[in-house]
Structure 1
């Protein structure tokens, strides 16, 4: 019996060590994927110049390893980078901690301030989520078949309104929060000039709810870009009804992407730029 008692702590240490190795490998892979595509830097800068000018403020909500922070800084914009995963916050501080144009907020963003449980995927940190219902729903997509949320950490939560009170109103806000998009927009009480959020066809009604929330805040026009292509799927900007219809027509197994929303009074400015 004494042998079993001694073996149990050893087995637990091995499991902990193995998890740490998997976690480190996942972080390294995600960071490499964010920064290894050198050939995409110029196209990304050109794409986001539709929305951001030098000296503007941009919010990167769900900053992950900060590849969008790099893009916004290359344009000359100031950035508030928001990320709840402690290890990724460490990466952001290592990369941008000395940059006076970047403020790092180590927290999540939601409908109200407080604390919440973050479900972490060690192998795929980009899909760590505060939305258990979203995690269950995306399981229907074969691309999530190998995804496991194998750890949990309690993180601080703020709201977009609170971030605006601390840092000012952004000219552009990128939202990438794995199922918590509607909660993020619920914590916003004013129509921002421009923003983006992710959509996944298998849970398309979540994106529809975000579109409808933005329509409550103001008069917006919308456009869709497939994941990381930096190319528009339509030749022009759509109103609320048109983008909702377009989203609902997507096949459940289709490619995910991002919805970009521009306030109607800013649309002429955006469309007058290259790519707009």
Structure 2
């Protein structure tokens, strides 16, 4: 009973944060509008409560929303389950299909993770005080290549999977036009590995957005070496953001 109440409270808090700010939504549409056109297919990997799904739909895209957590998947189905342009996959995404154990943060489900290294790093980090991962569930695991085989090639892939981004990108063997992945300064090595993976499969242009600013940190797109330097010198207090990779 108390576990269910805590999860519901965490979900409501996330809904208030991610859906309650019109200017943030407008900024998000401007940012993603640089990658997404009406009729495009988009993958939202780690869809959480679906605020990015909402933005992609406002831009006229078809969306595959992937979210393994049952509580958050229920929110997605409530909001988008009757929308024929949104497909919901209740799975985690890694380098290959199978199953995986996911560590659930009952009070704050949007930071639940399939990465033990992420949980360990967060437990020791300033700014993450009070976060607890007290439950583990086994979830089905798919890969980006499998999703592409099933739904087609997306114009854009957004990846936000709490420290599991490197594993998700390992399951992508063919570059799409553009993608983004979340980084945290408590696990900078994961983001650096993601940049290396992007370069290996053909991405040549990079940019970044800090936190929830929904705007690029660099005036111009840069190469892999420069975005690596930028990330390496970023102050730890910057905390998190998203790195964008584009073919052109």
The correspondence for 1:180, drawn from 164, 187, 194, is: 164
Aligned to 1:159: 143
**Could you tell me whether the CA contact under 8 Å between 2:186 and 2:239 is conserved in 1?**
no
Provide the aligned C-alpha RMSD in A.
1.1
Structure 1: 5+ residue stretches without partners:
1-16, 267-276
1:40 CA displacement:
2.1
Aligned pairs for 1:1-276 within 5 A: 17-263=1-247, 266=248
Following the alignment from structure 1 to structure 2, what is the Cα–Cα distance between the partners of residues 41 and 260? 19
Q: Which runs of no fewer than 5 residues in structure 2 stay unpaired?
A: none
C-alpha distance in 2 between matches for 1:144 and 1:226: 18
Which structure features the higher share of helix residues?
A: 1
Whether contact under 8 Å (1:202, 1:253) holds in the other structure is: no
For 2:205 and 2:181, locate their aligned partners in 1 and report how far apart those are by CA, in whole Å.
Answer: 14
Q: State the Cα distance separating 1:53 from its structure 2 match.
A: 0.2
CA shift for structure 1 position 100? 0.7
Distance 2:40 2:190 in 1: 29
How many equivalent pairs are there? 248
Preserved CA contact (<8 Å) 2:211 2:240: yes
Deviations 1:104-125 (A, max 9, x none): 0110100111111110101111
4+ residue segments displaced more than 3 Å: none
Larger Rg: 1
Q: What's the TM-score once normalised by structure 2's chain length?
A: 0.97
